[in-house]
Chain A
Amino acid sequence: QVQLVQSGAEVKKPGASVKVSCKASGYTFTKFHIHWLRQAPGQGLEWMGIINPSAGITNWAPKFKGRITMTRDTSTSTAYMELTSLTSEDTAVYYCARERGEMGATELCFDYWGQGTLVTVSS
């Protein structure tokens, strides 16, 4: 069965960086895009970016330009998202999610989600 397992909760100080991992299993990692999303406490969902695990090509929402880096390790079927220059407004649960449908036949939505990683930014 498809599973996305994320790394554990993090507490960071303002100005620091955080790197969240997302280990995929139950499918061919390189055939499906992986997205990163977040949800601040009591708020809605926000799309952050996407990585093509096969080619490593990324795209991100404009508000994260210059602060977000998405990478992957195909040998371990793991995707990573690093966010730098953290502020209190980055306190949120961060999710990875798989795009539904293999590349080339994708349905542009998110069918499997990781369990979420709480990142708390506090001095």
Chain B
Amino acid sequence: QSAVTQPASVSGSPGQSITISCTGSSSDVGGDKYVSWYQQHAGKVPKLIIYEVSDRPSGVSSRFSGSKSGNTASLTISGLQAEDEADYYCSSFTSSHHYVFGSGTKVTVL
């Protein structure tokens, strides 16, 4: 069972903005800048969309943004599109030099 929690599901209408939270502890999410987010469409390989809390890899839409406050990181998707319907996972490097993933959030576009 994951020690980092995310809401099981979040939904929104096209064009809206949604935010997914990722709550851990001072040993992981709150400990440093190494929080990343992954998008996984059904049956597909995960894709990196945010790294180091708020940076986007080249080619990732600017509609995806990340932030962090204390032990909670957040992923915001603005201008929600049908193609954004997927599972989203946060991940954090930990004080034990391991990695932990959040429990995952299913995003539904209404």
Residues of chain A having any CB pair with chain B under 8 Å: 35, 44-47, 59, 61-62, 95, 100, 107-111, 113-116
Q: Given contacts A95-B45, A108-B34, A109-B36, are A47 and B103 in contact (CB under 8 A)? A: no
Residues of A within 8 A of B103 (CB): 44
Q: Are A100 and B51 in contact (CB under 8 A)?
A: yes
Interface check B30, CB cutoff 8 A: no
The residue on A at minimum CB distance from B2 is A44
Q: Are A110 and B101 in contact (CB under 8 A)?
A: no
Q: Please report the number of residue pairs spanning A and B whose Cβ atoms sit closer than 8 angstroms.
A: 59
**A110-B34 Cα distance, complex, nearest whole Å:** 11
Q: Given contacts A45-B104, A100-B51, are A110 and B36 in contact (CB under 8 A)? A: yes
Q: Mark B66-110, 1 if CB is under 8 A from A, else 0.
A: 000000000000000000000001010100011111111000000
The secondary structure that dominates the B interface is strand
What is the distance, in angstroms, from A108's C-beta to the closest C-beta of chain B? 4
Interface check B7, CB cutoff 8 A: no
**A99-B69 Cα distance, complex, nearest whole Å:** 25
What is the distance, in angstroms, from A9's C-beta to the closest C-beta of chain B? 14
Q: Are B98 and A111 in contact (CB under 8 A)?
A: no
Residues of B within 8 A of A46 (CB): 101
Residues of B within 8 A of A115 (CB): 45
The residue on B at minimum CB distance from A97 is B46
Residues of B within 8 A of A95 (CB): 45-46
Interface check B14, CB cutoff 8 A: no
**A10-B67 Cα distance, complex, nearest whole Å:** 40
Interface check B15, CB cutoff 8 A: no
The residue on A at minimum CB distance from B102 is A44
Task: Find A45's partner among B47, B52, B57, B91 (CB 8 Å cutoff).
Answer: B91
What is the distance, in angstroms, from A43's C-beta to the closest C-beta of chain B? 8
Q: Are B98 and A109 in contact (CB under 8 A)?
A: no
Interface check B64, CB cutoff 8 A: no
Residues of A within 8 A of B55 (CB): 107
The residue on B at minimum CB distance from A46 is B101
The 10 tightest CB contacts between A and B, nearest first, are A109-B36, A47-B99, A108-B34, A44-B104, A109-B51, A108-B93, A45-B101, A113-B45, A111-B48, A107-B51
Q: Are B34 and A45 in contact (CB under 8 A)?
A: no
